[in-house]
Amino acid sequence: MFYRFTSKLATQERLEAFPVPVPGTDKFDDVPWIDVYEAKFNLLQQHPSIVGVKLFQAPLYDTKKPRGLCLRFHQGKESAWLPDIWGVANKLIVSEKCKAVIEAMDEMEHEYLPIEWIDWQEKPVKTEQPYYWFNQRRYLKIEPTDRLAQPPELGFCPIPGEEDFLARILDTHNLREHVERFPIWQHYGLEGPVCRQSQARAVVYMSQKLINALREKEVRGMDIYSEKYGKGEEALCGL
């Protein structure tokens, strides 16, 4: 089994925090190589027995200059409960606790860029642990089939672009075994700025072993909305 995680904590009516420009400016110092990011993906392998499946490692962000990502709390939310992993504005955010588990479970080098927390007046806010903008660097490119996976068999309502390659995983035993080996990954679908601004960029897939380790360490935020088929707002669903 593997799991699909997408956080619903960043919807407008329930924001704990949201990305803002560098304090005192209107500048978002966003992902580098904005036009050629995927062109810098490193092809690691093509599974010899599964045609149309490729494994890539995404590049590191350029850390020679600050990325300038700040998260600003709504007024009165400065002491609000924060999860250990969630998505906001198509970015993945993880806590120090979550980071430690991923690093212990995954041999691939991911990247964790520190976040500056500020209040509604742009004053620094101290949180109980550091948080990071998580550059998850393992991507799988899975050519889809003609069949589209349906919500009843998935256990969640897929976003556009998931129904086809997930259907292939569900229908192909050796492909399922292949993806279940990876602790954490994302799907490499469309390319370019439009893709990086899509909801799909904040969806991650995790192995059973990683989920077990996260639960053992009581990582918060994965099971808040777990009802199926959109009755609640599902976050973690097993496949």
pLDDT digits (tens, 9 = 90+) for 181-201: 999 999 987 666 666 666 667
Mean pLDDT score, 98-112: 96
More confident: 175 or 35: 175
Q: Find how far residue 113's CA is from the centre of its chain.
A: 14
Token pair recorded at residue 187: 């799907």
Residue 63 has pLDDT above 90, yes or no: no
Residue 226: HSE in the Cβ half-sphere, 13 Å Cα cutoff: 8
What's residue 27's pLDDT? Answer: 56
Provide the total of helices (H) and of strands (E) in the chain, helices listed first.
Answer: 6, 14
Whole-structure pTM value: 0.86
- Find which of 102-106, 132-136, 151-155 is predicted with most confidence, using mean pLDDT: 102-106
- Please tell me the predicted confidence (pLDDT) of residue 13: 46
Q: What is the pLDDT of residues 69-100, one digit of tens each?
A: 788 888 888 887 788 998 776 778 899 999 99
- Asked whether residue 33 carries a pLDDT value surpassing 50, the answer given is no
Higher pLDDT, 106 or 13: 106
Residue 106 pLDDT > 50: yes
| Residue 103 banded pLDDT, cuts 50, 70, 90 | very high
Given a cut of 70, is residue 158 above it in pLDDT? yes
80 close to 190: Cβ distance less than 8 angstroms: no
Nearest CA-CA partner of 200 in 17, 4, 19, 16:
4
Helix spans in the chain (H): 96-105, 151-154, 163-171, 173-179, 193-196, 208-216
